[in-house]
């Protein structure tokens, strides 16, 4: 300990210590001279340096020396420095952008009070997980928990009509303590107050989101106190949330309403009183300081078991409350990890291309430095020192590239977030994690591109073409992976846009009257839907009306069962439909028959499911599941709820009267459906003024799906093009270098009458193998890992030959162009002047 | 004469540290005096050169076996004097007994082998 302290003290006062040592050694020499030992003491500076080494800090001096030298070297060759920093800026900037996003979403805290103690609470059992909990259960946990200092909840609800606006507003019911618990502040007016707004009897109030206030009310502060109508229910605006207050879990509704007033706004709803009513609340809590997540989970499990005594049918077998840290913009789910890993892998390919590229550049450059290095070795520099110096140079380059990459990434993110509606508190300013990443990736880059060349130069072994070839091969392989992936995605987009998806959606309108959220019984729902169906069929241009329990394309949630069939996990998408469904959705019945009205225990499976469950057998008449359900028909494949997943299969049950209140109507029109929704809306509302139906065109839902795929394909294609352009810059440089190295040889060949093609092949031969090998390796890597892509390829095989061929062809074409461009110089060599030069 | 100033190449490693600590046992000295004392006490057989003395002194300072303080030399010059610390005294004892043991062992082998 004392030694470390003395070492540090030396570092702090090293100037004084140095002076003292110098003085002391001078005195020594004086005394020696005085005693007649007048002689040469050798290099006094060197002696002093040797003494200083004992303190173990000379590496700092050397580092600064090396850095100064490296800076001077780069300054003297600005062309090289700019190219290298440019390549690194792109390669590293892409990765830094990825990490900044990840950091923002997963690691950074929301600007709320004490985010570290926030937790999200969800019902789970080994089989089921859901985000929603019945309100009464929430109240039970809230009343009894001792490990959570506070609990609060939010409840989503269908969008509501604001006054006479065409566009509905998204709303969220929140417990009255929601804003006080999060420490939210009001831009103007006030937010919900647990003392005033926690009652069904209180005057109905509305809190506006900042961005919505800006868009809808033009940021007018006088809206406070104004009465607006939400779904025709008057309510008073009491305040606007500050732009710098965040909501939990990306939950940004346009308006916030007090939970207790939910029955007022959604007439007939029993969500707050009936634990079996559809919909529930999302629970949040705050851990008591010092209480661990585990202790809280144990307490909540005990409470769940108490709750089972109150509602034996509500609580599942082995139910527990799952706790996630809640204070981050995104709560990391296991399935996200896979997506993150995929993105990280694609981004790191760009990084690899950039490093390999720069590695090649450094190798070519080493030739020009041969002279300098041999002089330095000749005057006594040891190889270790030379190596250290060269590596410092790489490190300096990498750091410059890394920080310029950070700047580029920050500016890019700023531009993107200014073009999209982004809450004011969102910031991509680098924090310590991002800075650590930037420095870390710079060191990694320096190791990748600087280590091999530095070793080679220091050992004075050069012109090893094999290393350069490996570097070219690595760039080609990494670009190849990106291009093939983008080829697959582009093909998937084309496939999706130009192939029949197996169902018709262009002329279908979805109508979700929301009967269950307004407390309809099955019988009431049955008669309502019968009337509604009759009225809809009476509209001009309506061909058929079908019922479907699962909402399709553009509305509703997705439910699926994962079943193990023949050792593979298969996602089965269920639906409960009436007899009109297959006709309306244009899904062909391949074999067997349609459902019959009022039928129970009848099942229709998709062709894909039949083939998986009963390969080589007749599926009709088979028993499905462990129920008494019999397969009566085989329908065409129609992955409506999972367009992107080529493995998804479907199963349909005949709808039962008890499903009636949850049904969605699908209306098929003869012509374009765009004009009909307003008419349908007024029909639904005149039949029951309580209802506020959600009506949408299935084709716009389909388009949203394609949009996501198009954006993914575009993003990966941009990455792929960046990679291949970086790689071709590298190839141009290396071919140009090869030509300049072999000018004499080419001149002799030309003088002896070699044909231009032959000369070209001599120059390019050394690049042919690495390019081809790189393409093959890249294709193999892609094929090896591509089953991860399968679920986003919209039915295209992950080994789709078109995607692979497309990617490789683009790559070879660009690589060939990059090689031929500088190689043409070889043909212009004038034999006479080239041979005269030496 | 210059040859005698070279440190003996076969001086056992660590011996210089031991000698420095030993000559400082009787009181604080400055660098030159340490070299002189070793030279004189060894009947001019051992000579300690600047190039090895000062690195060794730095190492000893770092270890905390001596401390440096300002004093006035015989030529009236302000110069650093080295003084043995308690830790240095302990180190000297340990090294001396260790040295005795090793030389004794070597002597035994030389006599009997």
- Whether residue A463 is predicted with pLDDT greater than 60 in this model: the reply is no
Rg of chain A on CA atoms, in Å: 36
Rounded alpha-carbon distances, angstroms, from residue B32 to A26, B28, B68, B77, B82? 10, 12, 14, 13, 11
B73:A28 CB<8 A: no
B58:A30 CB<8 A: no
Q: Give me the residue from B2, B50, B64 closest to A47, CB to CB.
A: B50
Nearest CA in chain A to B69: A20
Of A758, A731, A760, residue with least CA distance to A825: A760
Nearest CA in chain B to A41: B50
- Within 8 A of A52 by CB-CB distance, chain B residues are 58
Q: What is the DSSP secondary structure assignment for residue A159, as one 8-state letter?
A: E
Q: Give me the residue from A6, A20, A41 closest to B50, CB to CB.
A: A41
- Within 8 A of A54 by CB-CB distance, chain B residues are 55, 58-59, 61-62
Whether residue A609 contacts residue A532, with contact meaning beta carbons closer than 8 Å, is answered with: no
Task: Output the furthest CA–CA distance in chain A (Å, rounded).
Answer: 126
Q: Look at A256 and A379; give whichever has higher pLDDT.
A: A256
Q: Is A837 an interface residue toward B (CB < 8 Å)?
A: no
- Whether residue A772 is predicted with pLDDT greater than 50 in this model: the reply is yes
Q: Report the number of secondary-structure helices (H) and strands (E) in chain A.
A: 23, 20
Residue tagged 């507003």 (tokens)? A169
Q: Give me the residue from B30, B54, B68 closest to A47, CB to CB.
A: B54
A31:B75 CB<8 A: yes
The sign one gets for the Cα dihedral B16, B19, B20, B21 is positive
Q: What is the DSSP string of A664-731?
A: EEEEEESS--TTSHHHHHHHHHHH-TT---EEEEHHHHHHHHHHHHHHHHHHHHHHHHHHHHHHHHHH
B79:A7 CB<8 A: no
Q: Give me the residue from A7, A25, A54 closest to B50, CB to CB.
A: A25
Q: Look at A673 and A278; give whichever has higher pLDDT.
A: A673
Q: Give me the residue from B31, B62, B63 closest to A24, CB to CB.
A: B31
Q: Give me the residue from B32, B57, B64 closest to A27, CB to CB.
A: B32
- Whether residue B2 is predicted with pLDDT greater than 50 in this model: the reply is no
Q: Give me the residue from A6, A7, A51 closest to B54, CB to CB.
A: A51
A50:B2 CB<8 A: no
Instruction: Please give the model's pTM, rounded to 2 decimal places.
Output: 0.76
Rounded to an integer, the average pLDDT of A650-661 is 88
Whether residue A96 contacts residue A406, with contact meaning beta carbons closer than 8 Å, is answered with: yes
Nearest CA in chain B to A9: B62
Band of residue A517 on the pLDDT scale cut at 50, 70, 90: confident
Q: Report the number of secondary-structure helices (H) and strands (E) in chain B.
A: 5, 3
B32:A20 CB<8 A: no
Q: Is B47 an interface residue toward A (CB < 8 Å)?
A: no
Q: Which residues, 6 or more positions from A574, have their beta carbon under 8 angstroms from its beta carbon?
A: A550, A559, A560, A561, A650, A651, A652, A653
Task: Output the pLDDT for position A288.
Answer: 94
- Within 8 A of B51 by CB-CB distance, chain A residues are 42, 47, 50
Q: Look at A813 and A559; give whichever has higher pLDDT.
A: A813
A32:B79 CB<8 A: no
Task: Output the pLDDT for position A440.
Answer: 95
Of A243, A283, A248, residue with least CA distance to A109: A248
**Rounded CA gap, A479 and A811, in Å?**
8
B54:A29 CB<8 A: no
Task: Output the pLDDT for position A42.
Answer: 66
Nearest CA in chain A to B71: A24
Rounded to an integer, the average pLDDT of A157-174 is 85
pLDDT tens, position by position, A626-650: 678 889 999 988 887 777 777 788 8
Residue A299: CB atoms within 10 A of its CB come to 18
Rounded alpha-carbon distances, angstroms, from residue A183 to A116, A147, A193, A260, A363? 13, 20, 12, 21, 58
Of A354, A364, A351, A349, residue with least CA distance to A469: A364
A7:B62 CB<8 A: yes
B54:A30 CB<8 A: no
Q: Is A231 left (phi over 0), alpha (psi -120 to 50) or beta?
A: left
Can you list the alpha helix ranges (DSSP code H) found in A77-156? Answer: 78-102, 135-144
Number of structural domains found in chain B: 1
Report residue A703: phi and psi, to 5°: -65, -35
Task: Output the pLDDT for position B4.
Answer: 40
pLDDT tens, position by position, A223-239: 999 999 998 899 999 99
Band of residue A103 on the pLDDT scale cut at 50, 70, 90: very high
CATH of the domain at B48: 1.10.10.10
B residues 60-79 closer than 8 Å to A (CB): 61-64, 68, 73, 75, 77, 79
Rounded to an integer, the average pLDDT of B83-105 is 89
Mean pLDDT over the full length of chain A: 85
Task: Output the pLDDT for position B6.
Answer: 46
B31:A54 CB<8 A: no
pLDDT tens, position by position, B47-65: 777 778 888 888 888 888 9
Q: Is B86 an interface residue toward A (CB < 8 Å)?
A: no
Nearest CA in chain A to B57: A51
Give the residue numbers spanning the domain of B31.
2-112
Q: Which of A109-123, A427-441, A782-796 has the lowest mean pLDDT?
A: A782-796
Interface test with B, best of A18, A27, A48 (most B CBs within 10 A): A27
Interface test with A, best of B49, B60, B61, B62 (most A CBs within 10 A): B62
Q: Is A25 an interface residue toward B (CB < 8 Å)?
A: yes
Q: Is A28 an interface residue toward B (CB < 8 Å)?
A: yes
β-partners of residue A669 are A542
pLDDT tens, position by position, A248-265: 866 788 999 999 999 898
- Whether residue A287 is predicted with pLDDT greater than 90 in this model: the reply is yes
Q: Is A47 an interface residue toward B (CB < 8 Å)?
A: yes
Rounded alpha-carbon distances, angstroms, from residue A188 to A198, A205, A241, A258? 21, 15, 7, 18
Q: Is B2 an interface residue toward A (CB < 8 Å)?
A: yes
Task: Output the pLDDT for position B7.
Answer: 46
Q: Is B51 an interface residue toward A (CB < 8 Å)?
A: yes
Task: Output the pLDDT for position B5.
Answer: 44
Task: Output the pLDDT for position A738.
Answer: 78
Token digits for A691?
């209802």
Rounded to an integer, the average pLDDT of A529-547 is 90
Q: Is A2 an interface residue toward B (CB < 8 Å)?
A: yes
- Within 8 A of B16 by CB-CB distance, chain A residues are none
């Amino acid at each position: 300990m004392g030694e470390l302290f003395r070492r540090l003290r030396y570092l702090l006062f090293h100037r004084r210590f140095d002076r003292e040592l110098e003085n002391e050694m001078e005195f020594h020499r004086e005394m020696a001279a005085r005693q007649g030992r007048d002689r040469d003491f050798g290099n006094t500076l060197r002696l002093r340096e040797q003494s200083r080494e004992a303190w173990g800090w000379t590496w700092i001096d050397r580092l600064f020396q090396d850095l100064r030298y490296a800076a001077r070297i780069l300054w003297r060759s600005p062309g090289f420095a700019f190219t290298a920093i440019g390549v690194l800026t792109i390669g590293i900037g892409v990765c830094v952008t990825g990490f900044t996003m990840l950091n923002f979403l997963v690691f950074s805290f929301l600007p709320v009070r004490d985010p570290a103690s926030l937790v999200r609470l969800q019902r789970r059992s080994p089989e089921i997980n859901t985000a929603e909990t019945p309100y009464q259960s929430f109240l039970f946990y809230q009343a009894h928990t001792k490990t959570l200092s506070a609990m609060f909840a939010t409840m989503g609800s269908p969008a509501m009509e604001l006054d006479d606006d065409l566009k509905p507003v998204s709303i969220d019911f929140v417990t009255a303590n929601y804003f006080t618990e999060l420490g939210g502040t009001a831009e103007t007016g006030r937010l919900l107050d647990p003392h005033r707004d926690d009652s069904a009897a209180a005057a109905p109030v509305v809190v506006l989101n900042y961005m919505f206030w800006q868009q809808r009310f033009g940021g007018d502060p006088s809206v406070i106190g104004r009465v607006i109508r939400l779904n025709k229910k008057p309510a008073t605006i009491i305040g606007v949330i500050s732009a710098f207050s965040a909501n939990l879990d990306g939950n940004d509704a346009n308006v916030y309403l007090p939970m207790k007033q939910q029955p007022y706004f959604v007439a007939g709803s029993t969500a707050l009183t009936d634990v079996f009513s559809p919909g529930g609340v999302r629970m949040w809590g705050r851990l008591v300081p010092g209480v661990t997540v585990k202790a809280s989970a144990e307490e909540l499990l005990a409470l769940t078991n108490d709750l089972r005594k109150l509602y034996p049918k509500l609580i599942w077998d082995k139910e527990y409350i799952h706790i996630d840290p809640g204070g981050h913009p995104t709560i990391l789910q296991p399935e996200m990890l896979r997506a993150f890993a995929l993105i990280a892998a694609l981004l790191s390919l760009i990084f690899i291309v950039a490093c390999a590229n720069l590695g090649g550049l450094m190798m070519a450059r080493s030739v020009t430095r041969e002279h300098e290095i041999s002089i330095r070795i000749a005057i006594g520099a040891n190889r270790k020192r030379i190596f250290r110096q060269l590596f410092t140079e790489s490190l300096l380059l990498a750091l410059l590239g890394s920080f310029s990459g950070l700047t580029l990434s920050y500016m890019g993110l700023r531009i993107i977030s200014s073009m999209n509606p982004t809450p004011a508190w969102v910031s991509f300013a680098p924090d310590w994690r991002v800075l650590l990443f930037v420095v870390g990736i710079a060191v990694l880059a320096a190791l990748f591109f600087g280590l091999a060349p530095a070793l080679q130069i220091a050992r004075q072994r050069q012109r090893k073409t094999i290393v350069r070839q490996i570097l070219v091969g690595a760039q080609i392989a990494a670009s190849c992976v990106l291009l093939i992936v983008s080829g697959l995605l582009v093909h998937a987009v084309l496939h999706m846009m130009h192939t029949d998806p197996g169902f018709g959606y262009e002329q279908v309108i979805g109508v979700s009257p929301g009967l269950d959220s307004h407390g309809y019984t099955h019988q009431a729902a049955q008669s309502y839907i019968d009337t509604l169906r009759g009225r809809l069929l009476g509209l001009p241009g309506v061909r058929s009306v079908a019922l479907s329990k699962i909402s399709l394309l553009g509305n509703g949630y997705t439910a699926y069962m994962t079943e193990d069939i023949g050792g593979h996990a298969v996602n089965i998408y269920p639906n409960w439909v009436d007899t009109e469904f297959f006709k309306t959705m244009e899904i062909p019945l391949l074999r067997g028959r349609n459902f019959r009205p009022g039928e129970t225990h009848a099942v229709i499976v998709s062709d894909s499911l039949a083939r998986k469950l009963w390969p080589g057998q007749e599926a009709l008449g088979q028993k499905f599941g462990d129920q008494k359900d019999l397969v009566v028909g085989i329908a065409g494949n129609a992955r409506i709820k999972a367009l992107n997943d080529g493995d998804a299969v479907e199963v349909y049950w005949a709808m039962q009267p008890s499903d009636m209140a949850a049904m969605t109507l699908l209306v098929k029109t003869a012509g374009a459906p765009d004009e009909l929704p307003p008419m349908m809306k007024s029909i639904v509302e005149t039949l029951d003024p309580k209802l506020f139906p959600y009506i949408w065109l299935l084709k716009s839902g389909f388009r949203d799906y394609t949009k996501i795929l198009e954006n993914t394909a575009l993003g990966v294609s941009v990455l792929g093009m960046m990679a291949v352009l970086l790689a071709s810059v590298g190839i141009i440089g290396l071919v140009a270098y090869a030509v300049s190295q072999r000018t004499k040889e080419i001149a002799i060949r030309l003088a002896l009458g070699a044909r231009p093609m032959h000369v070209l092949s001599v120059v390019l031969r050394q690049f042919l193998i690495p390019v081809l090998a790189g393409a093959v390796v890249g294709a193999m890597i892609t094929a090896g890992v591509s089953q991860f892509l399968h679920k986003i390829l919209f039915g295209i095989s992950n080994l789709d030959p078109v995607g692979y061929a497309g990617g490789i062809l683009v790559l070879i074409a660009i690589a060939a162009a990059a090689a031929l461009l500088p190689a043409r110089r070889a043909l212009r060599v004038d034999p006479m002047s080239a041979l005269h030069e030496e | 004469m210059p040859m005698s100033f070279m440190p003996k190449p076969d001086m056992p490693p660590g011996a210089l540290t031991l000698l420095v600590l030993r000559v400082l046992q009787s009181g604080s000295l400055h660098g030159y005096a340490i070299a002189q004392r070793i030279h004189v006490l060894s009947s001019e057989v051992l000579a300690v050169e600047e190039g090895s003395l000062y690195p060794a002194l730095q190492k000893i300072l770092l270890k905390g076996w001596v401390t440096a303080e300002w004093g006035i030399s015989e030529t009236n010059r302000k110069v650093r004097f080295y003084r043995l610390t308690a830790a240095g005294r302990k180190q000297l004892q340990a090294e001396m007994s260790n040295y005795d043991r090793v030389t004794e062992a070597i002597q035994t082998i030389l006599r009997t082998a």
